Amino acid sequence: MAPDLPGHGDAMKMSDPNEYGAMEEEVYGWALTASPVDGVGFSLGARLVLAAEALHPGTFSRLVVGGIGANIFSYRSPEHLAGAIEMGDPDLAPDSTMAAAFVRGAQRSTNDPAALAAFLRRPNRHRVTIEDLRSIRCPVLAAYGDEDTMVHPVEEFTQYLSDVRTVRIPGADHLATMRSPEFLAAALTFLTE
Q: What is the CA radius of gyration of the chain?
A: 16
89, 147: one domain: no
89 & 158 share domain: no
Residue 185: how many other CB atoms lie within 10 Å: 11
- pLDDT-above-90 percentage for the chain: 49
User: What's 1-59 look like in SS3?
Assistant: CCCCCCCCCCCCCCCCHHHHCCHHHHHHHHHHCCCCCCEEEECHHHHHHHHHHHHCCCC
Tell me the per-residue pLDDT of 162-184, one tens digit each, with 9 for 90 and over: 999 999 999 999 889 989 999 99
- What pLDDT, in 10s, does the model give residues 28-81? 999 998 878 999 999 889 999 999 999 999 999 999 999 999 889 887 778 888
- Angle at the Cα of 189 from the Cα atoms of 188 and 192, rounded to 5 degrees: 80
- Identify whether residues 56 and 137 lie together within a single domain: yes
Pair (60, 151) in one structural domain: yes
Are 60 and 95 within one domain?
A: no
Residue 28 has a pLDDT of 93
Q: HSE of 165 in the Cβ direction (CA atoms, 13 Å)? A: 12
Q: Do 89 and 143 reside in the same domain of the chain?
A: no
Element (H, E) at 133: helix 130-135
Structural domain includes residue 140:
yes
CATH number of residue 157's parent domain = 3.40.50.1820
Could you tell me which residues are beta bridge partners of residue 144? 168
Question: Do 116 and 131 belong to one domain?
Answer: no
Same domain? For 177 and 84 the reply is no
**Rounded CA separation 187/66 (Å):** 10
**Mean pLDDT computed over every residue of the chain:** 89
Clarify whether residues 140 and 50 are in a common domain. yes
Asked if residue 144 is part of any domain, the answer here is yes
Please report the pLDDT score of residue 77 as a whole number.
79
134 and 68 in a common domain: yes
Domain span holding position 161: 20-74+126-192
Closest CA to 169 of 156, 179, 159, 155: 179
The whole-model pTM stands at 0.88
The answer to whether position 130 is within a domain reads yes
| Mean pLDDT along residues 132-152 | 93
How many separate domains does the chain show? 2
In this prediction, residue 166 carries a pLDDT of 96
Q: Which of 184, 155, 163 is nearest to 66 (CA)?
A: 184
> Does residue 69 fall inside a structural domain?
yes
114 and 143 assigned to the same domain: no
Same domain? For 140 and 169 the reply is: yes
pLDDT at residue 163, rounded to an integer = 97
